[in-house]
Structure 1
Amino acid sequence: MFVESVVRWGTWSILLQFGLGVSAGVCPSRCVCRPEAKEVSCSGKHFLSVPEGFSSDARRLDFSHNKIKTVSRRQFSGLTQLQDLDLSDNIISMIEVEAFQGLQNLRTLRLKNNRLKIIPVGVFSGLSSLRFLDLSQNEILVFLDYTFKEMVNLQMLEAGENDLVFISQRAFYGLQNLQELNIDRSNLTAIPTEALSQLQSLTHLQMLRLTITALPNNAFRRLHRLRSLLIANWPALDTIASNSLIGLNLTSLVITSCNLSAVPYSAIRQLAYLRFLDLSYNPITVIQGNLLGDLLRLQELHLVGGSLLRIEPGAFRGLVHFRMLNVTSNQLSSLEESVFHSVGNLQVLRLDGNPLACDCRLLWVVRRRLRLNFDGHQPTCFSPDAVRLRKFKDFSEKELPRLFTCRPARILDRRPQEARVEEGTTVLFSCKADGDPLPSITWISSNKKVVSPTGRVRVLHNGTLEVRFAQVQDSGTYQCLVGNAAGNDSLNVGLHVKGLPRNRTIPFYSDEGWVESSNTQAANSSAQMAKPYPFDAKTLIIATTMGFLSFLSSVAICFVFMFFWSQSKGQIKHTATIDFVPRSSMGGGGGEGDGGRFTMKLI
């Protein structure tokens, strides 16, 4: 009796676990059912279509890795408790309208890695509770207007790795709660600005592997809640308009593996809430000084694998919250302490992978080697030879003053240079300097401006000042400034240019460059240009006389013609008389009627 009771109890327990529906076919053939979790797994069972016979209280269905081609209308209408549906990794090319109608509690829908080319409007009808939708790795060409209009609670949309060429302006209409959108590896050639502007709750936008060449002004307008923008692997992107990010309140901005040759200062300066900035794998050569000061909350800057040659003093001035700099795998030879607002705030520094010159400029880093976090990658000296390939952690405090040294910059030849020349002469002023590290050379003109490497007055690559075809206004004192991390030096030179007499040859600038012309020739040219007439008075009189005679001849001919015409006028007849015989009013033969005559005037 006891055994019979146990068996009976076990039977009822099993029936309860399966929802009292085993006989009703709650678990289709070849599928694995987990009644306690209300899950059904039909993954990898070679189904050609969606099987039937599921328990109405199932919460999770997995049909991934099959060969399903079509999802029919109201395919899952009886599964009102379903929350998770996985149809990924099939060969679905057609989903009929209202295919998911009735799944009012569905939270997650996965359609990844199928063969969808287009999604008709109405396919997602009834999915008002959906939170996550994965459409990635399909062949979708376009998102039509109102494709997602009933998915009012959708929070995340995966749309990457499709063949998207166009996103209609109202494609995202209705996605008022969407927070994250991923668009990866598509054929879009421009930012779908109008479509994105529908997503006013969007906080994270990821756009990877696109062929877009530029970010235009107002590219992300109306996305006021966007906090994270990730742009990566756009090899053609080389332009970021100054107002492309206007209106955004980003805390994280990533623009990596693109073709930016400079930090987009004008575009990012308005991102007052930015904390994380990553510009890695761009051919950026310099971080300029005093141009990042508007990013008051910036904490991290990553520029890995670029072409950085230098970071100028004051580059991070004003950034009181700056904590981490990662510039690994660049071409930096040094990093001066003056780059930072306060090195005491710096916590993480990545300098590995750079050809570092271990001299006085890096002494501040080595002295903080125990407090700074190098993230497990110790910087290594590249030069000079005495410390080559030594890691920073291997230096003792005692040897630092002897090894990490610099020689102040100094001008080698300090002999006075005074040039007194005539106008049009080319003048060269030498300024050779020495020091370790190699000092920079700057020339200041007589009007207190920095001389550039281009123009008539320029600085040559070896530091020499060249004044080509000197003019009187070039006269004055020029100053050569040399400097490095250890010190500065300067030298003044004088230039006095004397104007030439009027009959001397002087150079002048034309459209074809500098050419030479004499003052006499120039004066003659000016005199010729000043003549009001191209011929003299004699020529003018002859021309006037000939014109007057031609006029008289024409008048005489007209009078002769009028004379002969008036003489022949009397012989012209001005009227004509015509005789006629009217036709009889009766048909057939008849006698002749009386004739008539009329006169008409000739014109």
Structure 2
Amino acid sequence: MLKVRIDLSVQLFSFLVMNFLFSHIVTFESDATRDRDSNWASGLCPENCTCKMMDYPKYKSFFNKTVVCIGVEFVNNVFPENVPLDVQILDLSHCHLVRLSFKLPLKNLRFLDISFNNLKMLDRQIHKLTALRRLIIQNNSISYLQNGAFSGMMFLEVLDLSNNQLYSIEPHTFGGLNYLKKLHLQGNRLHHLSPQWFISMPSLGWLFLSNNLIGRLKANVFETLSGLFTMKLDGNRITHIESGAFNGLTHLRILDMTDNQLQTIPTQELHDLPLLQYLYFDKNPILRIPYHAFHSVNLTMLTMSYMPELKVIEKESFSNLKHLVTLQLHDNSELVYIDPKTFVNCSRLKNLYLHNNKLGSVSSVLKDSLPALKTLHLYNNELECDCNAMWIKQENLKEKSNTTYRSVLFGDSMLKCSAPPSKKGKLLRDLPLSDLNFTCAPVLIPLFKNRYNLSIGEELHLECYTMGLPFPQISWRLPNKTILRKENLQSGRYKIHNNSTFILKYLYETDTGTYSCQAQSVSGFDVKSTYVTVNNKPVRISPEYVAGNFITISWNGTRNQWSMTGYEIHYRQSDRSDKFQIIPLDRRLRQFRYTFTNLTPLTTYMFCIVYVFETELYTVHCTNITTNDLDLNEIGITHINSKMVVGVVTSIFMLLILGCCVFVIRRVGKRKDYLEPLYSNDTESLMDVIPLESMYQGQTTSAACSSRTSLIQSQD
């Protein structure tokens, strides 16, 4: 047994010795190889560049043949030619290059950085760099990319064209990039996107289009990018997303729409993204988050912060979001109201950020509807420190009295009161519980102005919300003292949406007056009002010419005199009750007058100009005009228009030209009569044939033929 143990010890010792010697031999050989290869390009290297075997962090590679020429200025600012042919990494950034010329067969080049230069176009031979894996061309001045510009780079994985001047890309510029994973086009001047750009790019996982000038996403523009994982469209001017714009993005998980011009939530389009998890929607001018805005979207995180116009989050706007964990709704400076029933079936929501808004309260119903809630930020709002804040105070007290209880509230040291006036500026945590009643009178949150000036035919929209315990009922009071509630509202011009929005369609002048939003409960009453003035259209008609059997009227006062779309002229005899006859006015009627013929002499007619809005008619102005006695010797013009005026002016002009021509011909005739005798040698006979009046002829002809007439007169 002892002998066996000795043998095992000897074998183990021999193994350790051999392993030690082998490792040192390998290390020695690799060091020798590295020393030999570190100067692999010592005989051929561009001036002021570094050429050696090295690890290059930009490429995240280890021990490659690398040429680094950062900041080197070459002759004529042109790509250097004395580059080692077997180079693998080439960095020519910040070299002031104005032109590339790939004459060398760099068949081993895998990484090329030509960023921060002065390139205005790509060399046509760049596609010959067939071994490239990463091409960085950012921060140049390239404005145009042509078809097949990168067609030979079949193994390219990263293409960075960010921060150039790109405004035009031909349809098949990126054709053949079958292994491309990342495409950087941010920071350019692209106004639109074309689906033909993305054909034959099945491996594309990251698409960066930030900070361009894109204004619209058209249908099916990304339909070939089924493998896309991340897409950034932030910092553009997108105002509209067409239905089907996200078709084909079946694997998209991250979408950034921050800082665009979207005014509505693209609800339907989001349902075309079945795997979407992260949605960034900050800095868009959205006024409200409406009912079912994000219903059943497969989101894990949603951010809608720094939105300068957002005021209201409506009932069930976040519903059936079964995977939502984090929701950021902070720093919305106009956000004043969140419906207590905003969240429905959001069972996994843990983090809700509502700080730095303008909220007067957040209902305990909202907090109780989120069973997984762990963190709630409410600081830096305009809290009403009354019964509406009671549950917040109770949360603080419960946490203080029970060390094992963890409140969902964060930052109670920043929860300050804004109302009532006696508590303004105080910390909620410093107020005794007795100062906060369990019931309180209603407080209205009006979203309308103090006064409105509207025109007939327009719609009036008034919106207000309320808070208080018990929850108040809202009603609307009209100028005629009528009280309207949703439950007693009949069909017609009036509509109440969710008890919070009052709509009056097809305004008349008689709708002018005070409109009030009223909130009432057993605890009290509150009212907020606005005054609405409904103005008539600024169009008036007047008689221009009156005869026995026709009348010409004219009108004025429109903002755009050439556009009368939506107006009609109605007329009939004043003493009759039959239907008006109608003359539509539109852009095709390029005049401001109309003549009515076949009228009865000595009869009064009523003429009205009427504004038409959908199915409603609004009388703008009416006037009565009486025809004269019929004069049989008078021949009236039944219809005067611009063509008649042009015809008369043209005729007069032609007559003037004809008269001028006749005058010239006659003068030429006279000249011939008295010039022929000049060839006679007899001076006395010459005096006999020259008409005396021509010797004293003055320049009395018209300006239309002045040049020719002056010549004749001088010869006279």
Q: Which residue does 1:52 correspond to in 2?
A: 81
Residues 456 and 98 of structure 1: is their aligned pair in 2 closer, same or farther, counting only changes over 3 Å? Answer: closer
Q: Is the 8 A contact 1:75 1:99 kept in 2?
A: no
Residues 17 and 215 of structure 1: is their aligned pair in 2 closer, same or farther, counting only changes over 3 Å? Answer: same
Unpaired segments ≥5 residues, structure 2: 1-28, 56-63, 400-405, 443-465, 477-482, 500-517, 526-535, 538-576, 580-716
Residue 378, structure 1, aligned to residue 414, structure 2? yes
Distance in 1 separating the partners of 2:292 and 2:316:
13
Equivalent residue pairs, number = 432
Taking the TM superposition and a 5 Å limit, the aligned residue runs for 1:584-599 are none
How far is the alpha carbon of 1:87 from its aligned partner?
Answer: 0.8
Q: Per the alignment, in what secondary structure is the counterpart of residue 289 of structure 2? A: coil
Distance in 2 separating the partners of 1:457 and 1:79:
73
The one-letter code of the counterpart of 1:117 is S
Q: Is the 8 A contact 2:219 2:243 kept in 1?
A: no
Distance in 2 separating the partners of 1:349 and 1:10:
58
How far is the alpha carbon of 1:111 from its aligned partner?
Answer: 0.6
How far is the alpha carbon of 1:364 from its aligned partner?
Answer: 2.5
Q: Which residue does 1:335 correspond to in 2?
A: 362
Residue 244, structure 1, aligned to residue 269, structure 2? yes
Distance in 1 separating the partners of 2:34 and 2:485:
97
Distance in 2 separating the partners of 1:377 and 1:75:
68
Distance in 1 separating the partners of 2:123 and 2:485:
77
For residues 369-406 of structure 1, what are the alpha-carbon distances to aligned partners after superposition, in whole Å with 9 as ceiling and x for unaligned? 453363798333323455543445x54xxx64223335
Residue 310, structure 1, aligned to residue 350, structure 2? no
Aligned match for 1:281, one of 285, 295, 306: 306
Distance in 2 separating the partners of 1:216 and 1:95:
34
Taking the TM superposition and a 5 Å limit, the aligned residue runs for 1:532-547 are none
The one-letter code of the counterpart of 2:90 is L
Q: Per the alignment, in what secondary structure is the counterpart of residue 94 of structure 1? A: coil
How far is the alpha carbon of 1:215 from its aligned partner?
Answer: 1.8
For residues 214-267 of structure 1, what are the alpha-carbon distances to aligned partners after superposition, in whole Å with 9 as ceiling and x for unaligned? 2222221121111121112223x2244553334212112222212211215555
Residue 78, structure 1, aligned to residue 115, structure 2? no
Residue 96, structure 1, aligned to residue 109, structure 2? no
Distance in 2 separating the partners of 1:389 and 1:190:
46
Query: TM-score normalised to the size of structure 1?
Result: 0.63
Aligned match for 2:69, one of 39, 42, 57: 42
Residue 482, structure 1, aligned to residue 520, structure 2? yes
Distance in 2 separating the partners of 1:56 and 1:377:
67
Distance in 1 separating the partners of 2:239 and 2:290:
15
Residue 345, structure 1, aligned to residue 383, structure 2? no
How far is the alpha carbon of 1:103 from its aligned partner?
Answer: 3.6
Q: Per the alignment, in what secondary structure is the counterpart of residue 224 of structure 2? A: coil
How far is the alpha carbon of 1:132 from its aligned partner?
Answer: 1.6
Q: Which residue does 2:474 correspond to in 1?
A: 442
Q: Per the alignment, in what secondary structure is the counterpart of residue 256 of structure 1? A: coil
For residues 71-117 of structure 1, what are the alpha-carbon distances to aligned partners after superposition, in whole Å with 9 as ceiling and x for unaligned? 22x4563241x33221111011121224142342x322111110111
Taking the TM superposition and a 5 Å limit, the aligned residue runs for 1:179-218 are 179-218=205-244
How far is the alpha carbon of 1:173 from its aligned partner?
Answer: 1.0
How far is the alpha carbon of 1:142 from its aligned partner?
Answer: 1.9
Distance in 2 separating the partners of 1:405 and 1:88:
66
Distance in 1 separating the partners of 2:495 and 2:142:
65
Moved over 6 A (4+): 9-14, 434-439, 444-448, 456-459, 487-490
Residue 233, structure 1, aligned to residue 265, structure 2? no
Q: Is the 8 A contact 1:245 1:267 kept in 2?
A: no
How far is the alpha carbon of 1:66 from its aligned partner?
Answer: 1.4
Taking the TM superposition and a 5 Å limit, the aligned residue runs for 1:409-488 are 409=441, 440-443=472-475, 449=487, 482-483=520-521
Q: Per the alignment, in what secondary structure is the counterpart of residue 319 of structure 2? A: coil
For residues 339-364 of structure 1, what are the alpha-carbon distances to aligned partners after superposition, in whole Å with 9 as ceiling and x for unaligned? 13545522222222211122332233
Q: Is the 8 A contact 2:474 2:520 kept in 1?
A: yes
How far is the alpha carbon of 1:320 from its aligned partner?
Answer: 1.0
Residues 380 and 344 of structure 1: is their aligned pair in 2 closer, same or farther, counting only changes over 3 Å? Answer: farther
Q: Is the 8 A contact 2:376 2:410 kept in 1?
A: yes
Residues 388 and 239 of structure 1: is their aligned pair in 2 closer, same or farther, counting only changes over 3 Å? Answer: closer
Residues 43 and 100 of structure 1: is their aligned pair in 2 closer, same or farther, counting only changes over 3 Å? Answer: farther
Q: Per the alignment, in what secondary structure is the counterpart of residue 318 of structure 2? A: coil
Q: Which residue does 2:38 correspond to in 1?
A: 18
Q: Is the 8 A contact 2:246 2:269 kept in 1?
A: yes
The one-letter code of the counterpart of 1:16 is R
Distance in 2 separating the partners of 1:346 and 1:268:
19
Residue 168, structure 1, aligned to residue 194, structure 2? yes
Residues 45 and 357 of structure 1: is their aligned pair in 2 closer, same or farther, counting only changes over 3 Å? Answer: same
The one-letter code of the counterpart of 1:220 is F
Q: Which residue does 2:48 correspond to in 1?
A: 30
Residues 447 and 214 of structure 1: is their aligned pair in 2 closer, same or farther, counting only changes over 3 Å? Answer: closer
Unpaired segments ≥5 residues, structure 1: 1-8, 411-433, 462-479, 491-510, 513-527, 531-603
For residues 305-356 of structure 1, what are the alpha-carbon distances to aligned partners after superposition, in whole Å with 9 as ceiling and x for unaligned? 3221111111113211111222222210111110135455222222222111
Q: Which residue does 2:138 correspond to in 1?
A: 112
Taking the TM superposition and a 5 Å limit, the aligned residue runs for 1:505-544 are none
Q: Is the 8 A contact 1:144 1:167 kept in 2?
A: no
For residues 423-443 of structure 1, what are the alpha-carbon distances to aligned partners after superposition, in whole Å with 9 as ceiling and x for unaligned? xxxxxxxxxxx9977974435
For residues 527-572 of structure 1, what are the alpha-carbon distances to aligned partners after superposition, in whole Å with 9 as ceiling and x for unaligned? x889xxxxxxxxxxxxxxxxxxxxxxxxxxxxxxxxxxxxxxxxxx
Aligned match for 1:87, one of 111, 114, 132: 114
The one-letter code of the counterpart of 1:65 is H
Query: TM-score normalised to the size of structure 2?
Result: 0.54
Q: Is the 8 A contact 2:375 2:410 kept in 1?
A: yes
Residues 266 and 337 of structure 1: is their aligned pair in 2 closer, same or farther, counting only changes over 3 Å? Answer: closer
Residue 324, structure 1, aligned to residue 356, structure 2? no
Q: Per the alignment, in what secondary structure is the counterpart of residue 520 of structure 2? A: strand
Residues 447 and 402 of structure 1: is their aligned pair in 2 closer, same or farther, counting only changes over 3 Å? Answer: closer
Residues 76 and 114 of structure 1: is their aligned pair in 2 closer, same or farther, counting only changes over 3 Å? Answer: farther
Q: Is the 8 A contact 1:353 1:379 kept in 2?
A: yes
Q: Which residue does 1:401 correspond to in 2?
A: 433
Higher helix content, 1 or 2 = 2
How far is the alpha carbon of 1:208 from its aligned partner?
Answer: 2.0
How far is the alpha carbon of 1:126 from its aligned partner?
Answer: 2.6
Q: Is the 8 A contact 2:218 2:242 kept in 1?
A: no
The one-letter code of the counterpart of 1:32 is T
Residues 90 and 293 of structure 1: is their aligned pair in 2 closer, same or farther, counting only changes over 3 Å? Answer: same
Distance in 2 separating the partners of 1:357 and 1:447:
27
Distance in 2 separating the partners of 1:136 and 1:346:
41
The one-letter code of the counterpart of 2:48 is R
Point out the structure with max Rg over C-alpha: 1
Q: Is the 8 A contact 2:88 2:111 kept in 1?
A: yes
The one-letter code of the counterpart of 1:179 is G
- Greater mean deviation of Cα atoms: 56-65 or 363-372: 363-372
- Greater mean deviation of Cα atoms: 381-390 or 180-189: 381-390
Q: Is the 8 A contact 1:443 1:450 kept in 2?
A: no
Distance in 1 separating the partners of 2:265 and 2:467:
40
